[in-house]
Amino acid sequence: MARATDAEALVRLRTVSKHFGEGEARVDALRDVSLAVDAGQVVGLLGPSGSGKTTLLNVIACITAPSSGWLCLDGEVVYDNRWLRTDLRRLRLEKIGFIFQFHNLLPFLNSTDNVSVVLDLAGVGAAAAKQRAIELLQYLEVDHRKDAFPASLSGGEAQRVAIARALANRPRIILADEPTAALDSHRAGIVMDLLRKVAVDQQAAIIAVTHDEKIFDRFDHIYHLRDGRLESAVEQAVVKI
């Protein structure tokens, strides 16, 4: 937990605990987790099933309230034994981008609209939102599929569009849930390279939950979770783009 005290980190957790149920039925999903992720870093969360990875991701995403602890996102303390903000969806919209295992693109929107929908929710005008969406699709080299609906995209293309959506509002924190699980190793590598590029270019902190061994070497740090505790932080020598 070397980064726990780093005041410059985009994501900071201090002694965050989360339990479900009480008494004999009590399950401790997270125990005194402290974590700090800097801008430009790509961090991996590993651990066996039930170790608390998803709970930790949900806590950082402000979906699940911790039982105790302190959480600071992009310089704003959002939880200190209670939520300090009530508009958590707005908080997510402003500060966090999400990348999913199965891309979770809205099936009734084409690639451009899937990206611009986030900007639309944030109140950006239609023309500006479309412009930004196309720029992002170009940046992720999937603009040739800007009018395609998700059903007609390949797995790699869909994940690129999903990454573009995650970047639409220029969030400085990106949470990825098994971003490469549905991809073969070649495409998984491309996606991880893209995430690294995003982290560096946009000075974003990227936290990815993964089981995918073929991408372990693409993380700056890998944190192991076991029974709700962060057991180790392995700093890796990653080839920076």
Residues that bind other proteins (CB under 8 A): 54, 57-58, 61, 63-64, 89-94, 98, 100-102, 104, 106-109, 113, 116-118, 120-122, 126, 149, 165, 177-178, 181
Question: In this structure, which long-range contacts are made by residues 89-92, counting pairs with CB atoms below 8 Å and at least 24 apart in sequence?
Answer: 91/62, 92/61, 92/62
Q: Are strands 11-20 and 96-99 parallel, antiparallel or unpaired?
A: unpaired
Cβ atoms of 188 and 202 closer than 8 Å: no
Q: Residue 178's Cα: distance from chain center in Å? A: 10
Minimum separation from the CB atom of position 179 to other proteins (A)? 11
Q: Which of 4, 21, 22 is nearest to 13 (CA)?
A: 4
Minimum separation from the CB atom of position 6 to other proteins (A)? 26
Q: Which is nearer to other proteins, 4 or 131 (CB)?
A: 131
Crossing angle between the packed helical segments 111-121 and 126-139, to the nearest 10 degrees: 130
Cβ atoms of 126 and 97 closer than 8 Å: no
Q: Which is nearer to other proteins, 3 or 116 (CB)?
A: 116
Minimum separation from the CB atom of position 102 to other proteins (A)? 8
Minimum separation from the CB atom of position 27 to other proteins (A)? 14
Q: Which is nearer to other proteins, 32 or 120 (CB)?
A: 120
Name the token pair of 44: 């991996």
Minimum separation from the CB atom of position 178 to other proteins (A)? 6
Q: Which is nearer to other proteins, 67 or 101 (CB)?
A: 101
Q: Which is nearer to other proteins, 96 or 142 (CB)?
A: 96
